[in-house]
Amino acid sequence: MVMESIADATEALFGNQMISFADARKIENSVNSSEYNKIKFAEEVDKNKSNQLAAGIGMLFLGRYAEAVELLKKSSDCKEKFFFLGCALRGAEKYDEALEAFDKALKQKADNLLVVLEKIDTLRLAKKFEEAEKQAETCANFAKVSADYHYQLGRLLSDQGKYEEAISNFEIAAELDPNHHRALFHLAFACDLRGDDEAAIDYYKQIKASSPVYVNALLNLAVLHEDRGEYEKAESCVEMVLNCHPNHKRAQLFLKDILSSQDMVYDEEKEKLKSRRNKILEIPISDFELSVRSRNCLKKMNIHTIGDLLRITEAELLSYKNFGETSLTEIKRILEQKGLRLGMALEDKKPPAVEPEAVDGADAEMLGKTVDDLELSVRARRCLQRLNIRTLAELCARTEAELLGCKNFGVTSLNEIKERLSEFGLGLRKLD
């Protein structure tokens, strides 16, 4: 059954016959494929609340879990009631009750594999990994047969940090079902995290080609296109989201960022100058005629290039044993020939180090956490990687202006980071 319109989805749900579990997923995809569909479907569900089972399932598709649970509990007992009740309770994070509902669905003769896979998903979300593994073992005979089995196994392995095994299972799921969008998404995301942009883009494009609107896939694909300077492709992905979800806040802000990036002027002369300077900084000290004493001292101080000399001051050199004024004069003369001087790299603007007491309510342990703990989107995480920001302390030392100064770092990423930091009781540095 193909849902051609939201009217078809509504008729299928509230018709005379009970929908199959397979059709339920199609209806859910149709409902959430656009903001318009979701609004229209919600209106129909509200009109048909007397049909408690169908309305409860509809509330589940809309993500209104508390209302779904209330309606489904009042409906007559059947395998569909308990199956969808389990899904709604899981959405409401009531994992133990969800597992009880799934067990009741099994007693009502619901499809064993379907229910067990939902139990695995529920146990995974509840962090009960050992129990989830035991459930997975009961349907191991579906290996290389069921795409959903390998997808759920992949999610379970991924949450336990077994990434290689997880990727292998996502790949099998995609082979068994080339249109398994969730498996493709997690494959793409895994490749993205590993820095394999080409593979990530390929998987995201597969989703784009076969799915009406997979919002997260399109936005992640847009990030990858933007990073490669493919602004028109990035803009196209975001506009696909906004065509179906015109009020999607993140997509709206992202589009503004992309349009702003296209307006950035590339200064070719400035880039050439920067390239020449970088080449100078990489020149090894051994290329210059230095006294044995100076050469030995620099070697012991782990100073090997011109760039290393720019990151150390006169005082630091003179404080080293056996390094005197003669050696200092010798080195300064070499740098002056290239228009450079000791310590000049340290004069570049750097954010001050953040001490624990510099942030209200924060301690050293909190500030020592990595930015991975913020669970940021791909776009925001990539921006922080470019800025070489690894810890919350380093992030809190930056101002909004400093972050926005990074290429492709826009208001969307800034707002996301500020929101995540606030959850930890932290914030960005403010200028006095």
* Stretch (H or E) spanning 58: helix 52-61
Give the contacts of 95 (CB within 8 A, at least 6 positions apart): 89, 122, 123, 125, 126, 128
Q: Does residue 286 sit in the same domain as residue 415?
A: no
Q: Does residue 131 form part of some domain?
A: yes
pLDDT at position 355 is: 44
Q: Does residue 335 form part of some domain?
A: yes
- Average pLDDT on 372-396 reads 80
- Average pLDDT on 159-166 reads 90
User: What phi, psi does 285 have (nearest 5°)?
Assistant: -60, -30
What range does the domain containing 38 cover?
A: 1-142
Q: Helix, strand, or coil here: 426?
A: coil
Q: Over 80: is that where the pLDDT of 71 sits?
A: yes
Band of pLDDT at residue 405, cut at 50, 70 and 90: low
Instruction: For residue range 173-211, list pLDDT tens digits in order.
Output: 999 999 999 999 999 988 887 778 899 999 999 999 887
Dist CA 35 CA 42 (whole Å): 11
Chosen domain end from 114, 142, 170 = 142
Chosen domain end from 347, 367, 399 = 347
Dist CA 219 CA 308 (whole Å): 41
Instruction: For residue range 230-263, list pLDDT tens digits in order.
Output: 999 999 999 999 999 999 988 998 888 888 776 6
Determine which of 76-85, 112-121, 218-227 has the lowest per-residue pLDDT on average: 218-227
Average pLDDT, the chain: 84
Determine which of 4-13, 162-171, 399-408 has the lowest per-residue pLDDT on average: 399-408
CATH (domain of 410): 1.10.150.20
Please say whether the dihedral angle defined by the alpha carbons of residues 255, 260, 263 and 266, taken in this order, is positive or negative.
negative
Q: Does residue 7 sit in the same domain as residue 67?
A: yes
Instruction: For residue range 107-154, list pLDDT tens digits in order.
Output: 999 999 999 999 999 999 999 999 999 999 999 999 999 999 999 999
Alpha helical stretches, state H, 211-248: 215-227, 231-244
Q: Over 50: is that where the pLDDT of 265 sits?
A: no
Contact between residue 26 and residue 2 where contact means Cβ atoms under 8 Å apart: yes
CATH (domain of 132): 1.25.40.10
The count of domains in the chain is 3
pLDDT at position 289 is: 74
Q: Does residue 112 sit in the same domain as residue 9?
A: yes
Q: Does residue 21 sit in the same domain as residue 115?
A: yes
Q: Does residue 13 sit in the same domain as residue 48?
A: yes
Q: Does residue 106 form part of some domain?
A: yes
pLDDT at position 108 is: 96
Q: Does residue 53 sit in the same domain as residue 125?
A: yes
Q: Does residue 257 form part of some domain?
A: no
pLDDT at position 271 is: 58
Q: Does residue 22 sit in the same domain as residue 119?
A: yes
pLDDT at position 6 is: 83
pLDDT at position 142 is: 97
Chosen domain end from 142, 172, 195 = 142
Q: Does residue 363 sit in the same domain as residue 419?
A: yes
Dist CA 307 CA 280 (whole Å): 8
Q: Does residue 164 form part of some domain?
A: no
Distances (CA, A) of 382 to 167, 195, 220, 419: 21, 10, 11, 17
pLDDT at position 97 is: 98
Give the contacts of 10 (CB within 8 A, at least 6 positions apart): 40, 41, 44
Q: Over 80: is that where the pLDDT of 432 sits?
A: no
Q: Does residue 17 sit in the same domain as residue 41?
A: yes
DSSP-derived secondary structure letter, 355? P
Give the contacts of 188 (CB within 8 A, at least 6 positions apart): 199, 200, 201, 202, 203, 204, 207, 217, 220
Instruction: For residue range 1-10, list pLDDT tens digits in order.
Output: 444 578 888 8
Q: Does residue 33 form part of some domain?
A: yes
- Average pLDDT on 70-87 reads 97
Q: Does residue 331 sit in the same domain as residue 370?
A: no
pLDDT at position 264 is: 54
Instruction: For residue range 298-334, list pLDDT tens digits in order.
Output: 887 778 888 788 777 777 777 666 777 888 888 888 7
Instruction: For residue range 28-65, list pLDDT tens digits in order.
Output: 989 998 999 999 999 999 999 999 999 999 999 999 99
